[in-house]
């Protein structure tokens, strides 16, 4: 049975908990049957046969084609727009400008500061200034050419430091400094006074493109009942709905958003469906016809959200033995033209605050000060991308740790051993980590599997001619589960039918991460049935309860808990029925393997389906509803102190690579990535997250960058924007540890984003170890590595 497929050989699951908190785990003492096994992915048969329908695969019947006229200027006033000629073109049904937006002319995941159609000014190259709907894509494209826009260019800002300067032209009326956040713990001056060594460094990272392989598409249609239906691949149907409704000027319950299976999202399809969803809805509203907007690859790169670029200044102090005494940081976090997912949602939501909280790294540091500035510029905008501010700051602190270790003459592993979080550590926000802290365990397990000491000893020149040097690198990381807002609730419903089959209603979306496999596993575990008995309903805001967005590594944990609560509610009803049928008190009943039986007399049992049928016939509850919200987050607006996120995942990565010191080329050889995930609900799916996340981190390290010149994207296609190929990525070995999370389903914590995070600095540290070259401005492409080696005075000669 594919559902029972288990592959213990390839999955290293270390189940020994080291926190001593096993008694707190909900499922303590209960051996799991379904959760924890590598159940095959639910949608695999459709994927390997090409039958799974993605957004673009829906037939094109009756659609008008929507297109967006984009601004060619990074910053300009719109003096006038003439749409007359475009409207006259045969086959054009609508040409809309700002005044045609029926409701609020603004959208945004957090702040609606991005015009659906720009009216008075444009803020980046790619900003939408007019919308066209036509009978064919070709006509729509031709119509765009006929729209005449008169712009008055304004001085444009491309560096957050310039945009913060006094007297800088205002990109938005409210000013260019979107958020100014601080985190202060202890006394950094005193901390630096105590230090034997103080290092100061600056690291810089560029805009990154998600490069999900499936291009964006969206379809909007006004239903006969007046409800606007928006469909498409998307990570956050509820956020899309929350934007479409006010843009049309109608209540939320008049908008229905249906998610279509995604060909990858990585945070990018949290934002882009809001953009094209609102625009398609406005066109459908005006024309009364279904409208489809699809973006070509180049348009995605130009128009949609990116990973935020940052300039990060760090100062760190340490004792001779490596003990950290103080950390000071400044982040210039470039938001670009629009707020997207950058700014704060109280108390600790938004990528900017998250970056600030994460910046000192997973280390005990008594004295910390971070100033974090989030600044508008005339570039494309930063949004969510796998790690949400954390990958950037890890690149800074993990390189800093290595540079500090070198300065102190201690090993990169030892300095981390010295300072890494453990149970009871206080973070830079003063949060005491009182459960599920497996960071040190990941370090030791990774070092053992990787054979760090031996490999370290074997590094050095590869060839006699001394052109290639081998090195190793390590990096650690931490990542939150959930998003740190007060409103991070997650709802689910479980409907048991009279034949024992189950429908699971959840708004968590499938983008390849495996939610549609893992969530039914949790539901089946709780009800004592097989995963195949549970069908998950495609997210549709008309059907499923509000679940929040599929982001923040929150799905398995938050939705898992909601599902458990929902399942327990309906299970109570089933056990009540079974109790009467078996004449056994409910406390003695156990549900497992599609049976409900007397724990003390297992022979006394009923089939799950029979119990379901009787429950139905007796009029008892068949639906359970669950709602789970993490403990309230806190973060003081002035001091940045509090407990912003309820639990963290931890990780250590180690990599071996070779640098051609004459050219700067890098070739990865081996990779081990260890994680404390709390509990692996589906180990194989989890491995997939790890392997893919590491590959993405490799891209960030070595090749990825949206190259901008005066606001113009230079590499909008996949020929210019390079992501790793099969020949760039080594055989990545995942290593899974389980230090249970007492607030997670069966002990689970989030994992979607974590694998992406330490990969980049681990590779950069290995490059520095191999070649002497420290690349402080990404990506570490051959040229940057070459100059870094030059700057270091050449490679180590030993």
Partner 1 sequence: MSTMELSFKLNGRALTLNVAPDTLMVDLLREDLGLTGTKAGCREGECGACTILVDGTPMNSCLMPALKVQGREITTIEGLEKADGSLEVLQEAFMGEGASQCGFCTPGMILTATALLKQNPDPDEGEIRQALSGVLCRCTGYRKIVQAVKAAAKARA
Partner 2 sequence: MALPFEKLHWYSKLEVADYLVPTSLPQALDMLAAHGGRARVIAGGTDVIPELRSRKLAVSALVDVSRLPDMNAIESDGADILIGGGVTHAQAAASPLIQDKAGLLATGCGWVGSPQIRNVATLAGNLVSGQPAADASVPLLALDAEVTIASAEGLRVVPLSEFFQGVGKTVLDSSREILTSIRFKALGAKQGSAYLRLGKRKAMTLPMLVCAVVATAGQDGRSIQSAAIALGPVAPVPFRERSAEQFVAGKPATPETLAQAAETATAQCTPRDSLLRGSCDYRTEMVKVFVRRGLAAALTQAGCTIG
**Residues forming the site for partner 2 (CB under 8 A):** 67, 69-70, 72-73, 125-126, 137-138, 141, 144-145, 151, 296, 298-299, 302, 662-663, 665, 667, 702-703, 707, 709, 712, 714-715, 719-720, 722, 724-728, 781-783, 786-787
Which of residues 339 and 780 has its CB atom nearest to partner 2 in the complex? 780
Give the separation between CA 442 and CA 457, rounded to whole angstroms.
Answer: 21
Helix (H) or strand (E) holding 162: helix 160-164
Which of residues 254 and 663 has its CB atom nearest to partner 2 in the complex? 663
Q: Does 513 bind partner 1 (CB under 8 A)?
A: yes
Q: Is residue 399 a contact partner of residue 774, using CB atoms and an 8 Å limit?
A: yes
Q: Is residue 664 a contact partner of residue 740, using CB atoms and an 8 Å limit?
A: no
Residue 138 interacts with which of partner 1, partner 2, none, CB < 5 to 8 Å by class: partner 2
Q: Does 636 bind partner 1 (CB under 8 A)?
A: no
Residue 684 interacts with which of partner 1, partner 2, none, CB < 5 to 8 Å by class: partner 1
Interactions with partner 1, residue window 14-43 (CB under 8 A) = 38, 40-41, 43
Q: Is residue 481 a contact partner of residue 649, using CB atoms and an 8 Å limit?
A: yes
**Minimum separation from the CB atom of position 60 to partner 1 (A):** 7
**Minimum separation from the CB atom of position 684 to partner 2 (A):** 27
Q: Is residue 542 a contact partner of residue 231, using CB atoms and an 8 Å limit?
A: no
Which of residues 83 and 652 has its CB atom nearest to partner 2 in the complex? 83
Candidates 440, 442, 348; CA nearest to 389 is 348
- Which one of residues 212, 373, 388, 608 is an interface residue with partner 1 (CB under 8 A)? 212
Q: Is residue 668 a contact partner of residue 456, using CB atoms and an 8 Å limit?
A: no
Which of residues 47 and 79 has its CB atom nearest to partner 1 in the complex? 47
Number of alpha carbons in the 13 Å side-chain half-sphere of residue 60: 11
Q: Does 60 bind partner 1 (CB under 8 A)?
A: yes
Strand-pair partners of 152: 77
Kindly report the CA angle at 397 between 307 and 433, in degrees rounded to 5? 95
Residue 335 interacts with which of partner 2, partner 1, none, CB < 5 to 8 Å by class: none
Which of residues 234 and 702 has its CB atom nearest to partner 2 in the complex? 702
Q: Does 695 bind partner 1 (CB under 8 A)?
A: yes
Residue 421 backbone phi and psi in degrees, to 5 = -55, 145
**Minimum separation from the CB atom of position 699 to partner 1 (A):** 9
Q: Does 89 bind partner 1 (CB under 8 A)?
A: no
- Which one of residues 20, 50, 167, 226 is an interface residue with partner 1 (CB under 8 A)? 50
Give the separation between CA 606 and CA 541, rounded to whole angstroms.
Answer: 36
Q: How far is CA 481 from the centre of its chain?
A: 11
Strand-pair partners of 469: 461, 659
- Which one of residues 4, 8, 30, 53 is an interface residue with partner 1 (CB under 8 A)? 53
Question: Can you give the C-alpha Rg of the chain in angstroms?
Answer: 27
Q: Say which residues have a Cβ less than 8 Å from residue 345's Cβ, sequence separation at least 6.
A: 110, 483, 484, 485, 487
Residue 226 interacts with which of partner 2, partner 1, none, CB < 5 to 8 Å by class: none
Q: Does 266 bind partner 1 (CB under 8 A)?
A: yes
Q: Does 6 bind partner 1 (CB under 8 A)?
A: no
Count other Cβ atoms within 10 Å, centred on residue 714. 11
> x-or-dash pattern for partner 1, window 471-510, by CB under 8 A?
----------------------------------------
- In Å, how far are 220, 326, 391, 404, 628 from 673, measured between CA atoms? 42, 28, 15, 23, 31
Count other Cβ atoms within 10 Å, centred on residue 629. 17
Cβ-in-10-Å burial (0-12, 13-18, 19+) of 225 comes to: exposed
- Which one of residues 140, 146, 168, 211 is an interface residue with partner 1 (CB under 8 A)? 211
Residue 662 interacts with which of partner 2, partner 1, none, CB < 5 to 8 Å by class: partner 2
Strand-pair partners of 724: none
Residue 786 interacts with which of partner 1, partner 2, none, CB < 5 to 8 Å by class: partner 2
Chain residues binding partner 1 by CB under 8 A are 2, 5, 38, 40-41, 43-54, 56-57, 59-60, 210-215, 262-266, 296-297, 511-514, 684-685, 687-688, 690-696, 717-719, 723, 725-727, 729, 731-732
């Amino acid at each position: 049975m594919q559902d029972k497929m288990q592959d213990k050989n390839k999955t290293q699951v270390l189940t020994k908990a080291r926190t001593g908190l096993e008694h707190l785990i909900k499922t303590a003492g209960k051996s799991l049957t379904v959760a924890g096994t590598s159940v095959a992915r639910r949608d695999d048969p459709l994927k390997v046969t090409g039958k799974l329908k993605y957004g673009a695969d829906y037939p094109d019947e009756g659609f008008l084609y929507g297109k967006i006229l984009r601004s060619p200027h990074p910053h300009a006033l719109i003096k006038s727009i003439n749409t007359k000629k475009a409207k006259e073109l045969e086959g054009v049904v609508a040409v809309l400008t700002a005044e045609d937006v029926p409701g609020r002319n603004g959208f945004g995941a957090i702040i609606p500061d991005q015009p659906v159609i720009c009216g008075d000014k444009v803020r980046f190259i790619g900003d939408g200034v007019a919308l066209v709907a036509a009978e064919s894509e070709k006509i729509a494209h031709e119509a765009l050419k006929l729209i005449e826009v008169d712009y008055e260019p304004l001085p444009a800002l491309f560096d957050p430091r310039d945009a913060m300067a006094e007297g800088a032209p205002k990109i938005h009326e409210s000013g260019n400094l979107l958020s100014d956040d601080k985190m202060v713990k202890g006394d950094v001056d005193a901390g630096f006074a105590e230090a034997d060594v103080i290092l100061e460094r600056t690291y810089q990272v560029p805009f990154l493109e998600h490069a999900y392989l499936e291009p964006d598409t969206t379809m909007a249609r006004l239903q006969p009942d007046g409800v606007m239906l928006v469909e498409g691949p998307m990570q956050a149907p509820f956020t899309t709905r929350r934007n479409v409704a006010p843009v049309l000027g109608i209540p939320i319950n008049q908008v229905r958003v249906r998610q279509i299976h995604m060909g990858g999202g990585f945070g990018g399809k949290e934002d882009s469906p809001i953009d094209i969803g609102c625009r398609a809805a406005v066109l459908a509203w005006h024309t009364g016809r279904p409208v489809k907007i699809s973006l070509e690859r180049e348009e995605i790169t130009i128009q949609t959200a990116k990973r935020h670029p940052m300039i990060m200044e760090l100062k760190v102090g340490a004792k001779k033995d490596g003990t950290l005494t103080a950390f000071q940081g400044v982040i210039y976090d470039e938001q670009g033209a629009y707020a997207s997912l950058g700014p704060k949602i109280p108390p600790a939501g938004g990528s900017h605050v998250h970056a600030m909280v994460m910046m000192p790294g997973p280390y005990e540091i008594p004295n910390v000060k971070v100033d974090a500035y989030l600044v508008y510029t005339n570039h494309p905008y930063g949004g969510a991308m796998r790690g949400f501010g954390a990958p950037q700051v890890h690149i800074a602190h993990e390189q800093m740790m290595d540079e500090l270790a070198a300065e102190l003459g201690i090993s990169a592993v030892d300095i981390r051993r010295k300072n890494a979080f453990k149970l009871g550590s206080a973070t830079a926000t003063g949060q005491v980590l009182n459960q599920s802290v497996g960071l040190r365990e990941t370090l030791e397990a990774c070092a053992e599997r990787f054979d760090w000491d031996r490999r370290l000893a074997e590094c050095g020149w590869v060839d006699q001619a001394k052109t290639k040097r081998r090195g190793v690198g390590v990096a650690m990381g931490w990542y939150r589960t959930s998003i740190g807002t007060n409103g991070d609730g997650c709802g689910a419903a479980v409907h048991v039918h009279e034949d024992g089959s189950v429908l699971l209603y959840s708004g968590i979306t499938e983008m390849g991460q495996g939610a549609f496999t893992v969530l039914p596993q949790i539901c089946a575990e709780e009800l004592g049935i097989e995963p195949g008995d549970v069908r998950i309903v495609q997210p549709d805001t008309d059907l499923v309860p509000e679940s929040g967005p599929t982001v923040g590594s929150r799905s398995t944990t938050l939705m898992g808990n909601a599902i458990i609560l929902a399942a327990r509610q309906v299970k109570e009803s089933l056990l009540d029925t079974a109790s009467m049928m078996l004449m056994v008190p409910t406390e003695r009943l156990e549900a497992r393997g599609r049976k409900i039986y007397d724990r003390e007399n297992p022979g006394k049992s009923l089939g799950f389906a029979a119990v379901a049928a009787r429950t139905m016939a007796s009029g008892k509850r068949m639906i359970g509803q669950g709602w789970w919200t993490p403990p309230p987050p806190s973060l003081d607006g002035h001091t940045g102190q509090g407990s912003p996120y309820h639990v963290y995942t931890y990780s250590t990565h180690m990599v071996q690579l070779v640098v051609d010191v004459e050219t700067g080329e890098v070739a990865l050889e081996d990779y081990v990535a260890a994680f404390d995930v709390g509990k692996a609900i589906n180990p194989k799916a989890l491995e997939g997250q790890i392997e893919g996340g590491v590959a993405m981190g490799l891209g960030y390290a070595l090749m990825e960058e949206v190259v901008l010149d005066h606001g113009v994207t230079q590499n909008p296609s996949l020929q210019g924007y390079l992501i790793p190929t099969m020949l760039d990525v080594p055989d990545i070995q995942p290593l899974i540890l389980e230090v249970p999370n007492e607030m997670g389903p069966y002990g689970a914590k989030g994992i979607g984003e974590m694998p992406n995070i330490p990969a980049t600095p681990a590779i950069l540290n290995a490059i520095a170890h191999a070649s002497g070259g420290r690349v402080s401005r990404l990506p570490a492409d051959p040229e940057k590595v070459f100059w870094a080696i030059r700057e270091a005075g050449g490679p180590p000669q030993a």
